[in-house]
Amino acid sequence: MEDKYYPLSSLAIGEKGIVKKLTSNDLMRRRLLDLGLINNTIVEALHKSPFGDPVAFLIRGAVIALRSEVASMILIEKINVEEE
Amino acid sequence: MGLSNASSGINILQEELKIEKTTAEDRIVALGGNPNVGKSTVFNSLTGLNQHTGNWPGKTVTNAYGSYKYKGRNFILVDIPGTYSLMANSVDEEVARDFICFGEPHTTVIVVDATCLERNLNLVLQTLEITSNVILCVNLMDEAKRKNIHINLKKLSHELGIPVVGTSAVKAIGLSNLMEEIYNISYGRFKLSPMSIRYSEEIEKAISMIENKVRAINQSKLSSRWISLKLLDGDLNLINSIDKYLDFDLSKEKNIVKEVERAKNYLKSMGIDRDSIRDIIVTNLISISERISKKVVTIENNGYKSLDRKIDNLLTSKKFGIPIMVLLLMIVFWITIRGANIPSEILARGFSFIERNLSLFFQWLKAPAWIHDVLVLGIFRTLSWVVSVMLPPMAIFFPMFTLLEDLGYLPRVAFNLDNFFKKSYACGKQALTMCMGFGCNAAGVIGCRIIDSPRERIIAIITNSFVPCNGRFPIFIAVISTFFVNFIKGTFQSLVLALILTSVIVLGVFMTLLVSKILSMTILKGLASSFTLELPPYRKPQLGRIIVRSILDRTLFVLGRAVVVAIPAGLIIWLMANIYLGDSNILTYTANFLNPLAKLIGLDGYILLAFLLGFPANEIVIPILLMSYMATGSLIELNSLAELKGVLIANGWTWVTGLSVMLFSLMHWPCATTCLTIRKETQSLKWTLVSFIIPAVAGFSLCFLVVNLIRLFSLL
């Protein structure tokens, strides 16, 4: 099943995804959970910083910037925008 | 003896924080909440100027408490750190949790952001697991209204089983309701029955297995259920805190340890391994938040964030993000430079009027001339220099800076620059501490507390003085005006001045990144820790509040410490200029000694000496220099730039000297206050020395390189 998942960092601006798995452990995992990144949370890529990294995401109503290494630890399922 | 709160009636945490009750009837109220929800506005509005600030015992976390009176009773409000969670993932979270658990507040108020309720509820639920006496303060109700977000406070109160008060703290709306609820709850006028947070059947069973054993020994006010949950979660940090504050080591209770093991094994048999217990707990809390939020929040049109989005798309865009940032910086400097001139002159005139009268007063007293000279020409004149040179730019710069802060722009600066910091293996929040450094490096060093990773925090502390503080601006401005923009006239002149000043700062930022990278590859080896940065919604700033806050908190604070160092500095400088060894005074004597070294880097002995004597405060570098050049024996101020230039050129200055002075001013040792602050923040002499030496070495090397390259080229 997991090969259907993409890292959050692969999300293009304006695209949305549903969180399916966190691959980080310990402290980083807890931080991500505290941000509300539990399973089935919808995340939207909002905008990139001037140099492309970090990227700002809309997570449960808050705008959070994540560096690419962090975003790649969050596995998501892409939401098809047309379907929505 | 079981797990109990100290029977002596003295609470260790309250004792350590030096919280003094005036009577036993005083009530202690903890004030918590997420960052950026206006918690400090609530705190300031309730307590006014009745505040004490300090550090949490043994931690570099700022602590503030204050008191207010309501219905004849005294309430002590403790401002606990703003956090998203109480699971002790950071020092702030640990401090916040410890106060709620062990500080024995009668009531805990959690402030949340009405525009972002769902996210904030997580903290509320975590607090409810610990204590029942919780009041929810839904702040920023006006912002929410503007964004068409409606919150059914009654329903929310019903769901949570606690009082809920809506406020707009900046407009002081809802605060009397809040005080009324605090009064009611603190004096037990209502018994609250908050919602109980239930977990899945398996977890509940595991909790109850442990809870029985915990209840048998628990005589403290902590909930046995919550302690059991934390034991199941394997929260060692809490167990340590219980040991510290309640003097009871749970890990030595064989009964309990055995039961925890049994519960964990039971969960394992149900397919829940140790590592996923935390995930299940957090997921449950967030799901409950989501459910409650869906019930009570209605958003009329979905595009409520559309304006913020548009602004962000501009301010952080690839094309305009960086240029706008540099432009804003330039505008701030330009306004500061233009605006400070006139008040500076008025202050200087006022001081010289006072000085003349002081002199007359001493003559009238028939005091010996040397007493007059030491006190008036030495101490008073240095003091008036510092105040008239520093106060106006600070009084203009700090409010503008606070304005950008209030608007929510600073996190965007960190967002824009993060990529550079990542490449230097440092934390993006370092950009924020650098911004604070513009005002005062000591303040910047304290600001480094926002950086969680100890390695990255030390890097930010060491490199903070590469950003020039307010006290160094006069040096740049004097040099740029005399040597680099003197051929330009009118308004355009101050624009070019601001442009050159901005370039100097950009160089400082570049050096910060370079040194951070070198540190990361040598003595502070390590990779960048993963960091997350919240970009809070843009907020309408409150002008009146900004002015009051920046003048009271920042300007007067910085000025106060400058005055404190200026007094002894004035004395020492006066003595050096007036005690003669043979033909020359100590000042000249020392300058001659330093001259060969200074020449190497394009300065002269007097300039280097001025920087050395300026160690207490950078503001006095230029006046000391002029004093030694003019051999007046006391500080002087020249009335026009032409005069200043005349003196400098007569003493062998060229534009190369000017350039060197600017570079050296950007990079030498941090001032005495900053050094002391570094010592306090790092608790280490070693890092203080490193912070002292690194910018000095960088300054010497760069000046040497630049000056000798220029010399080489002009010889060719």
Range B12-186 classified under CATH 2.60.120.890: no
Total residue count of chain A as it appears in this document: 84
Task: Kindly give the residue spans of alpha helices, DSSP state H, lying in B408-480.
Answer: 410-423, 430-439, 441-447, 454-463, 473-479
A13 touches chain B (CB under 8 A): no
Q: When comparing pLDDT for B349 and B667, which is higher?
A: B667
Q: Is the pLDDT of residue A52 over 70?
A: yes
Q: Is A30 in Cβ contact with B278 (below 8 Å)?
A: yes
Q: Is the pLDDT of residue A82 over 60?
A: no
Mean pLDDT over A26-54 rounds to 88
For CATH 3.40.50.300, list the domain ranges present in chain B. Answer: 12-186
Mean pLDDT over B538-559 rounds to 76
Q: When comparing pLDDT for B302 and B319, which is higher?
A: B319
Assign B709 to helix, strand or coil.
helix
Please give the pLDDT value at position B1.
42
Total residue count of chain B as it appears in this document: 716
> And the tokens for B340?
């400070």
Assign B68 to helix, strand or coil.
strand
Nearest to B181 by CA among B217, B138, B134: B134
Chain pair A-B, CB pairs under 8 angstroms:
121
CA-nearest residue to B36 within chain A is: A62
Mean pLDDT of chain B: 85
Which of B84, B309, B428 shows the shortest C-beta gap to A46? B309
Q: Is A54 in Cβ contact with B428 (below 8 Å)?
A: yes
Q: Is B118 in Cβ contact with A60 (below 8 Å)?
A: yes
Q: Do residues A17 and A6 touch, judged by C-beta distance below 8 A?
A: yes
Please give the pLDDT value at position B493.
78
For an interface test with B, the pick among A39, A40, A51 (most B C-beta atoms closer than 10 Å) comes out as A51
For residue A61, list chain B residues with Cβ-Cβ distance below 8 A: 115-119
Distance CA B623, CA B81 (A): 42
A31 touches chain B (CB under 8 A): yes
Q: Is B418 in Cβ contact with A67 (below 8 Å)?
A: yes
Q: When comparing pLDDT for B167 and B541, which is higher?
A: B167
Q: Give CA angle at B391 (B388, B393), nearest 5°.
A: 105
DSSP class per residue in chain A? -GGG-EEGGGPPTT-EEEEEEE---HHHHHHHHHTT--TT-EEEEEEE-TTS-SEEEEETTEEEEE-HHHHTTEEEEEEPTTT-
For an interface test with A, the pick among B279, B284, B288, B419 (most A C-beta atoms closer than 10 Å) comes out as B419
CA-nearest residue to B85 within chain A is: A34
Please give the pLDDT value at position B60.
62
> And the tokens for B543?
């002008």
CA-nearest residue to A53 within chain B is: B419
Distance CA B8, CA A83 (A): 66
Q: Give CA angle at B607 (B605, B608), nearest 5°.
A: 65
Nearest to B34 by CA among A18, A69, A48, A64: A64
Distance CA B651, CA B631 (A): 12
Q: Is A38 in Cβ contact with B282 (below 8 Å)?
A: yes
For an interface test with B, the pick among A8, A32, A33, A46 (most B C-beta atoms closer than 10 Å) comes out as A33
Q: Do residues B687 and B666 touch, judged by C-beta distance below 8 A?
A: no
Chain A residues 55-84 with a CB less than 8 Å from chain B: 56, 58, 60-67, 69-70, 73
Nearest to A74 by CA among A12, A26, A18: A18
Closest CA of chain A from B176, distance in Å: 29
For CATH 1.10.287, list the domain ranges present in chain B. Answer: 201-296
Q: Is the pLDDT of residue B641 over 70?
A: no
Please give the pLDDT value at position A84.
44
CA distances from B199 to B204, B294, B295, B359 (A): 6, 20, 20, 79
Q: Do residues B105 and B30 touch, judged by C-beta distance below 8 A?
A: yes
Closest CA of chain A from B534, distance in Å: 4
Distance CA B230, CA B252 (A): 16
Q: Is B419 in Cβ contact with A52 (below 8 Å)?
A: yes
Max Cα distance, chain B (Å): 95
Residue B261: CB atoms within 10 A of its CB come to: 10
> And the tokens for B621?
């570098």
A38 touches chain B (CB under 8 A): yes
Assign B129 to helix, strand or coil.
helix
For residue B118, list chain A residues with Cβ-Cβ distance below 8 A: 36, 60-61
Which of B118, B122, B316 shows the shortest C-beta gap to A50? B316
Distance CA B635, CA B164 (A): 61
Pairing of strands A55-59, A42-48: antiparallel
Q: Do residues B197 and B170 touch, judged by C-beta distance below 8 A?
A: no
Q: Is the pLDDT of residue B490 over 60?
A: yes
Mean pLDDT over B319-338 rounds to 89
Residue B712: CB atoms within 10 A of its CB come to: 9
CA-nearest residue to A72 within chain B is: B530
Closest CA of chain A from B640, distance in Å: 44
pLDDT in tens, B229-248: 999 988 888 888 888 888 88
Q: Which residue has the tokens 């001493």?
A: B362
Residue ranges of chain B whose CB lies within 8 Å of a chain A CB: 84-85, 87, 89, 115-119, 122, 275, 278-279, 282-283, 286-287, 289-290, 305, 308-309, 312-313, 316-318, 321-322, 415-416, 418-420, 422, 428, 528, 530-537
Closest CA of chain B from A39, distance in Å: 8
Q: Is B116 in Cβ contact with A67 (below 8 Å)?
A: no
Q: Is the pLDDT of residue B102 over 80?
A: yes
Facing residues of A43 across strands?
A: A17, A59
A23 touches chain B (CB under 8 A): no
Mean pLDDT over B362-384 rounds to 84
Residue B656: burial class (beta carbons within 10 Å; 0-12, 13-18, 19+): middle
DSSP class per residue in B19-65? ---SSTT-EEEEEEE-TTSSHHHHHHHHHTT-EEEEE-TTSS-EEEE
Which of B119, B289, B322 shows the shortest C-beta gap to A50? B322
Regarding the domain with residue range A2-79, which homologous superfamily does it belong to in the CATH classification? Answer: Ferrous iron transport protein A (FeoA) (2.30.30.90)
In chain A, the percentage of residues whose pLDDT exceeds 90 is 49
Q: Is the pLDDT of residue A2 over 80?
A: no
For residue A30, list chain B residues with Cβ-Cβ distance below 8 A: 87, 89, 278, 282
Q: Do residues A58 and A46 touch, judged by C-beta distance below 8 A?
A: yes
Q: Is the pLDDT of residue B298 over 80?
A: yes
Mean pLDDT over B510-517 rounds to 95
Nearest to B629 by CA among B643, B616, B619: B643
Say if residue B81 is preceded by a cis peptide, omega within 30 of 0. no
Closest CA of chain B from A30, distance in Å: 7
Q: Is B532 in Cβ contact with A66 (below 8 Å)?
A: yes
Q: Looking at B332-472, which runs of residues are DSSP E strands?
A: none
> And the tokens for B241?
């805190």
> And the tokens for B328?
């804003």
Q: Is A70 in Cβ contact with B278 (below 8 Å)?
A: no
Q: Is the pLDDT of residue B464 over 80?
A: yes
Please give the pLDDT value at position B503.
92
DSSP state of B3: B
- Exposure class string for B307-329: b at 16+ Cβ within 10 A, else e: ebeebbeebbbeeebbebbeeeb
Write down the domain spans for chain A. Answer: 2-79
Which of A38, A47, A64 shows the shortest C-beta gap to B532? A64
**What band does B352 get if pLDDT is binned at 50, 70 and 90?**
confident
Please give the pLDDT value at position B633.
57
Range B201-296 classified under CATH 1.10.287: yes
CA-nearest residue to B281 within chain A is: A33
For an interface test with B, the pick among A9, A49, A72 (most B C-beta atoms closer than 10 Å) comes out as A49
Q: Is the pLDDT of residue B10 over 70?
A: no
Q: Is the pLDDT of residue B636 over 70?
A: no
Q: Is the pLDDT of residue B450 over 50?
A: yes
A19 touches chain B (CB under 8 A): no
pLDDT in tens, B172-229: 889 999 999 999 999 988 888 889 899 999 999 999 999 988 888 888 888 889 999 9
